[in-house]
Amino acid sequence: MTPVITVSGATQAFDGRIIFRDVSFSVMQGEVFVILGGSGCGKSTLLKQMIGLLTPSAGDITIGGFSVRSDVVAVRRQIGVMFQSGALLGSMTLLENVSLPLALFTDLPEAACAEIARLKLALVGLGDAASLLPSEISGGMLKRAAIARALALDPPILMMDEPSAGLDPVTSAGLDRLILQLRDTLGTTCVVVTHELASIMAIADRCAMLDAKAQGLIALGSPQELRDQPGQPMVRAFFHRETVQ
């Protein structure tokens, strides 16, 4: 498989306080790669580095061959991002929200942008909700709409921050199925930040586990490998819902 993302020695510090250091891994084309760990370990911080919102204090990240240090605009052309809150514009309908990236970054006429937006909404199961405002839909629908907007420009890589956060188990399972569907039908490479164990076991091809105490990466592999890994108390505790002795 071909690496489409390479994280090489990524480090992040704020005012001298290390969040994580020397994190390295690759994400392969067409896989669902999950960044996991307990609260405060730096999962979302690492994601912000990967989408160019934070410059690593040390190390580098390349996406599609472009560095977040020197080619952040080219990096962002490779990715679509679903933020944890959804980050939809409340004054716009779902159709208008999904159309917005097309209007801003392409020369397509308005009618074409709207038609593509309808197709993206249909792809995530919201074909009948195009005229609704974000305040008029459920939390699960909001997450799906945010994914539709992230897919508007057909990026090869989709990055999602806590997609299941705040959702009930049934809605969360439906979102997991959607992520796998996008991977299987579109060939989209998915990077997911989450601490939701059920979702990790359902969707992840491979995982990178960060730990706040270790200030970095402590495990890398499939969720099954990490779950059964001996000799790593923090990894075992996470996957078996145990306290660390």
Domain boundaries, the chain: 88-154
- CA nearest neighbour of 62 among 19, 12, 3: 3
The pLDDT of residue 245 is: 59
Distance CA(79)–CA(37), nearest Å, equals: 23
Using one digit for the tens of pLDDT, what is the confidence trace for 158-180?
Answer: 999 988 877 888 988 998 999 99
pTM comes to 0.90
pLDDT band at 244 (very low <50, low <70, confident <90, very high): low
Mean pLDDT value of segment 213-232: 85
Contact 221, 229 (CB under 8 A): yes
Averaged pLDDT for residues 23-38: 93
C-alpha torsion sign, points 47, 50, 54, 57: positive
